[in-house]
Structure 1
Amino acid sequence: MDNTTTTQKPVTAFATIAVTQIFSVAVMFIAAILPFSTLKASMLVCALILLVFFTLWPLKGGKSDRTIAFVAGISSLWCAALSLRGLLPNSVIDNNDSVSMSQFIAAMKPYEKWAVSFALILVAATFVSFARQMLREKRTNLVRNISHTLTASVATAALPGWLFLPSIIRFMPSLRNVYGGCAVAVICISLIIVFSGMAHLWNKNAQYDAKCIKPEIGMALLPVMLSGMLIYAAGLGMLLVA
């Protein structure tokens, strides 16, 4: 009886992780292809993912650790929304079938702005996380607590990278280098799949057992949030191969 339960538990956890990830990515993609308000829809999905992640927090740490990661995620989401509030060009190709530098610069600006914001947010999260641990009277599990807080902070701050997906989808039909664009897309999708597979390994690690109701759901969302960086990188790649 115990052996059957032990066998079923990893299978159930794996299925929960897979379904959560597929559903999250599918909803994000649907929000990105809507014919109206794609940015607002994508922001709503990101906000819901953050809500679920913090409700089913899969890592060690208390309320202070969650607060640091939450502030990092909200700040990054706000900065990404501000960076993308202007309409990005659907193409950087002019009438002469060559790259228009003015359109290219306009397309690059949101990426530059969010990259700077992302870096500053991570620096702030690192400083606050370290300072908080140093102020504790009992500094047990110091490295683990800092690493878990920073992992969550990086993931939540990376999540808004998915906000670039709508502009990437609109931009793809204008690519002159179709093979280059397809290569960027394939690499991005492959890395997202690899990231997603890591959740199952993390879920089996006892150090990540937060004793919550469904820790595997929170763990499944970690790679999805981290994949925001891959979407961001794919957007840059599309611009470079245009």
Structure 2
Amino acid sequence: MLLHSRHRGCSRWPRLTTVIVSLGAALCPIFSLNPAHGSEIVVATYEGVINPVAAEYLHDALTFAQSSGAQALILKLDTPGGLDTSMRLMIKDMTASTTPVIVYVAPSGGRAASAGVFLTMAAHVAAMAPGTNIGAAHPVAMGGGEMDSTMKEKVENDAVAYIKSIADQHGRNVSWAEEAVRKSVSVTEQEAIKLKIIDIVAENMPALLRQVNGRKGNLPTGSLTLSTDEATL
């Protein structure tokens, strides 16, 4: 079972639209549901800039997924990037989560740029839809201003160390991760799968569930094998 919530990033707190399949309870105001039984998958959609709203949205989604006993959380993501501080809060929540997080860059035409690269690489399972791209993670100053050379070097090196650590932790391409920050390289979903940046290319949610089935997520509580063959849309 997939439990859906959708949010387009903006300056306001999220307005959530939810669709529940084969379940009569409503998810409102944010993620409230009768306890799940381990087969449900929560789907949270975020489109927009990574900011405090995004961090709070993911935190609430993870809290709901964990408290309801859901098997996994799918974060359907389309972002141009955003704030480093918000991104790091989101990654901390993902890393500490006892529920596996699947980041799915979608729909076609979407992207995981800048902060979105870090989030995708930090997922227990990273997936992209056809016609999407990932990369261009070089840090920039807020407001579009210029940093002096010393500060620029410090910020860049910090970002490189962080993304390399994330990539290594999840068995992803560390060299490409560094280039995404230092050189702002960007690749398509097909290039990303060949370069071992992501795990899956899936054209839609059913295809994603088929490919996720049997994959393992390393959690603070130990390794967990996902079983999504009976999950329905």
- With normalisation by structure 2, the TM-score equals 0.25
Higher strand share: 2
Higher helix share: 1
Higher RCO, 1 vs 2 (CA within 8 Å, ≥6 residues apart): 1
- With normalisation by structure 1, the TM-score equals 0.25
